[in-house]
Structure 1
């Protein structure tokens, strides 16, 4: 049984190049409600934690705040929720930004063509190819519900950023709902469990692609947006404030300007 399990697992992993494809970088103008504010955005990324089985000596590095032994898994998905990159194996104690740095540095790792980018949360730093929200501002969608619209341009940007980036959180949720082996305790060695994680992402992407109705996500709801009162002068002041900072911050402001002008 073990021999057949590993044979099937390795066969699935050979589909990696076929199923996990990075989006076409051809310039496009997206009109979808979530993505029209983020032209040339390829998708979103985030980390999630999945239980693994490691030696006693390694457990402190893999132990989460809840006491579970987990690996920090970097996942990236396209705008439609298909996984396009996955990298398990890092210890739970490793920061998200360190995991991303490793993914980008690998020869066959995560790449963002020049002029394109992925959305990420505040666990990552703004850099070329990666766009994070403004720090120190409301970010989570629940903070704007119940008649509490964004009050400032940065909050408006963060709300729209969170609304779009939520696609990766829903992708992880759907993945774990489908594959029980990713939810419970692992009895496999950590290297095998990491292969299982990747294989589940591959099969999940195949199902998403071939059986679209099975992979339909429930969109998060946003309340009424009172951003019409925000004008270009507000945005210009933000641009002056951010002038001279790195490319990620400049891109934040450009996206924010587009968002206000659309309103």
Structure 2
């Protein structure tokens, strides 16, 4: 019964988050991310029963059908939304919390080769991973965090924080984020967020431009002084 209750939650969640979804039937029949989650639950159950080869076979079938690769050992919470999903890879020791949203081209991967150790990331609750992002390592991405599209995350991400860039760096954090994170952030993009590195470069560019104008004005002033004094270069 819990299996079907989870299915209903998944379908309802997708209908709420995706404006392109016209109804539950379309989600059930046409959404590869939903199919991948359903098949993964079966593969994960088999893995917990120590039917490892069968579990890997089931996950392989899922990858063939959906283009989404999830290791059967991965722990996935409730109401996880995989949007589009093609090219998504989630490694063996990864964990995905409730209400997370993951887009296509994402890798939740590892940077070490030790068996039995935590090699892949853990996503907290309500995390959004934008398209093409790479989250690499056995660290935690905190609750309500947002990883921007194509970011490369190599270090832990604090809760309620937005990170962007290569390597990823924080660009947004507020103490009171309940209202800010109550809305759904498609593709890990938050309108109005600014990259502090880009802002620093913009300030530097403005400073150089102003200095160039000052130097040009000084040249003109010097030329006028020379003409008045009858001196020539």
TM-score range, shorter chain: under 0.3
Higher relative contact order (CA 8 A, sep 6+): 1
**Structure exhibiting the larger radius of gyration computed from Cα positions:** 2
Q: Give the TM-score of the pair, scaled to structure 2.
A: 0.23
